[in-house]
Structure 1
Amino acid sequence: MTLSLAYLGPRGTYTETAAVAYCTWLQRKTSKSVTLQAYPSIFQAIKATATGETVLSIVPVENSIEGGVTVTLDTLWQLDHLRIQHALVLPIAHVFVSQAQDISAVDLVYSHPQALAQCQQWIEKNVPQAKLVPASSTTEALQHLRENPNAAAISSERAAELYQLPILAEGLNDYADNCTKFWVLGLTPAKSGGHTFLAFSLPVNAPGALLKPLQIFAKYSINLSRIESRPTKRSLGDYLFFVDLEAGITTDATQTALNELTTCTETLKTFGSYTFLPLEELRSGQIES
């Protein structure tokens, strides 16, 4: 049996690195063959799974420096029949790629907005004269270097090697501990998992409206590892709340809490339970160039 896995391309993105690591792990555990399919945006990668074009998709959801990947959260709320299968966390190490003779000659820096934000201090110190230009991915940013010899991109070392472009500087991360969490999404719920992800909107924007759902989690001793708000896009000040629980969805406490949540939320959506794959197991697979 062959499974298809959608990811944010083109080749060389951090998401592709995560996809290859996950494929290697999945093939080792299940003996199933996995093929990778690149898409030009996170939204399109998720939609491919939602419409059955691929069996799975892998997308970034949170970075240790810049926080949530908002397009992933917004798309999950919209395509709410998707379920999280697994989570994996990979270290992120950015490099400065350019055909310029010297860093001081660089006048444009391309990269994904998350990567640009993760390297703000380095950029300000080393290329304060450069204009920052967002790209759809850290690898797509490399395509602009052919057009302008004084342009640069913030990308991965692997991407620079794949496209045979020179690296002018390494260690661009503003903080040493830079890592990104990825989710593997599918149409069927995972069979087990110690973490549950859900989202809800509130019936009114009033004092104590958010406190009521949070008190329910506290009442049943369910720890929240993350809570993030996103606009509902209906009106200013109207928000959705995305919550990660450190509890499986099948436990009695979680089931009781979910039932009570329906009494104080407007819309409640659950995206299933999932497990984290150990980094040691993922590293045992080889990433082919």
Structure 2
Amino acid sequence: MAAVIAHLGPRGTFSEQAALAYQTWLQENQGQDSSLMAYPSILQAIQAVDQEAATLAIVPVENSIEGSVAVTLDTLWQLASLQIQQALVLPIRHNLITHAHRTEQIEAIYSHPQALGQCQQWITRHCPQAILVPTRSTAESLRHLEDNATTAAIASTWAADLYQLPVLARTINDQPDNCTKFWILGKSPSTQGNHTSLAFSLPINAPGALLKPLEIFAQADINLSRIESRPTKRSLGEYLFFLDLEASLTAVHTQQTLQAIEDCTEQLKLFGSYDTIPIARPAVE
């Protein structure tokens, strides 16, 4: 049976590029047929899997410039049924798409907040007069252009080609090695892989409360490749902590360590062990 892969739409988003790359990998490595289903928001794409309207969701979790994608982390904490199946890293190249012939003509630039942040130095140098308008996706920002020479959007050249729009400036992201990590989320238990992601809350907000679980990982010689806090949304100053470990849930040593972590945290959630799929280049440019 063909898998249904949910992703952030509309057509032309970087999430769709990631989904296309994963779709190719599934076919070539597992012989799995699949179809793509676009959703208006990352939240809705993830919820589609929870509600079994889709088999998998591919969603951005971390950008090399702007950091983590909050809605992905927050939603994964809230939905207990989902596990990280795999990850992939997609190179991101942003471009200024507009009917304007000069950057001085541009009064407003539309794009996803992550894209605006990843290009902020370029925008400050070349379009200091423009106001920045956030949209739900880079592809959605293209709908604001029409034939108006005073507006611009930041998106991929692939999206510009899809909607037959002119590109004024290419590769405007502030860092040339800009990339985004995507997680593939599903309902299947996920324990195989060299990376493990988890999150926990603490029983009390007191000095040393976070130090104890971190010391347990250090004493177990388990490397943390990422740690990030997110508000619990219960009270100001209370946080959830999201961690990526270089360890597998199948290892007895990891299981013993996580038991010790569970004993000193309020709530511990394991999002699964997984591998990162090598993607040499985007499925489309």
1:158 maps to what in 2?
Answer: 158
| 1:75 pairs with 2:50 | no
1:48 maps to what in 2?
Answer: 48
Give the CA deviation at 1:190.
2.9
Structure 2: distance between partners of 1:210 and 1:253: 21
Unmatched 5+ stretches in structure 1 = none
**Is the CA contact 2:48–2:54 (under 8 Å) kept in the aligned structure 1?**
yes
Structure 2: distance between partners of 1:120 and 1:286: 26
**Is the CA contact 2:105–2:149 (under 8 Å) kept in the aligned structure 1?**
no
Structure 1: distance between partners of 2:133 and 2:191: 42
Give the CA deviation at 1:253.
1.6
> Which shifted more, 85-94 or 184-193?
184-193
Give the CA deviation at 1:21.
0.4
**Is the CA contact 1:189–1:273 (under 8 Å) kept in the aligned structure 2?**
no
Structure 2: distance between partners of 1:192 and 1:59: 20
Deviations 1:94-122 (A, max 9, x none): 00000123211100000000000000100
**Is the CA contact 1:223–1:246 (under 8 Å) kept in the aligned structure 2?**
yes
How do 1:191-202 residues align onto structure 2 when only pairs under 5 Å count? 192-202=192-202
- Give the SS at the match of 1:146: coil
1:186 maps to what in 2?
Answer: 186
2:240 maps to what in 1?
Answer: 240
| 1:254 pairs with 2:254 | yes
| 1:204 pairs with 2:204 | yes
- Give the SS at the match of 1:109: strand
1:34 maps to what in 2?
Answer: 34
- Give the SS at the match of 2:74: helix
How do 1:65-144 residues align onto structure 2 when only pairs under 5 Å count? 65-144=65-144
Stretches of 4+ aligned residues off by more than 3 angstroms: none
How do 1:267-286 residues align onto structure 2 when only pairs under 5 Å count? 267-280=267-280, 283=281, 286=283
Structure 1: distance between partners of 2:172 and 2:283: 25
- Give the SS at the match of 1:236: coil
**Is the CA contact 1:200–1:265 (under 8 Å) kept in the aligned structure 2?**
yes
AA aligned to 1:208 is G
- Give the SS at the match of 2:138: coil
Give the CA deviation at 1:257.
1.0
AA aligned to 1:190 is S
Structure 2: distance between partners of 1:92 and 1:83: 25
Give the CA deviation at 1:30.
1.9
How do 1:17-32 residues align onto structure 2 when only pairs under 5 Å count? 17-32=17-32
Instruction: Give the CA RMSD over aligned residues.
Output: 1.3
Identity %: 60
Structure 2: distance between partners of 1:137 and 1:175: 20
How do 1:58-69 residues align onto structure 2 when only pairs under 5 Å count? 58-69=58-69
Give the CA deviation at 1:191.
5.2
Structure 2: distance between partners of 1:48 and 1:127: 38
AA aligned to 1:181 is K
1:264 maps to what in 2?
Answer: 264
Structure 1: distance between partners of 2:131 and 2:92: 23
- Give the SS at the match of 1:200: strand
Aligned length: 285
Give the TM-score normalised by the residue count of structure 1: 0.96
- Give the SS at the match of 1:229: strand
1:177 maps to what in 2?
Answer: 177
> Which shifted more, 139-148 or 233-242?
139-148
**Is the CA contact 2:56–2:184 (under 8 Å) kept in the aligned structure 1?**
yes
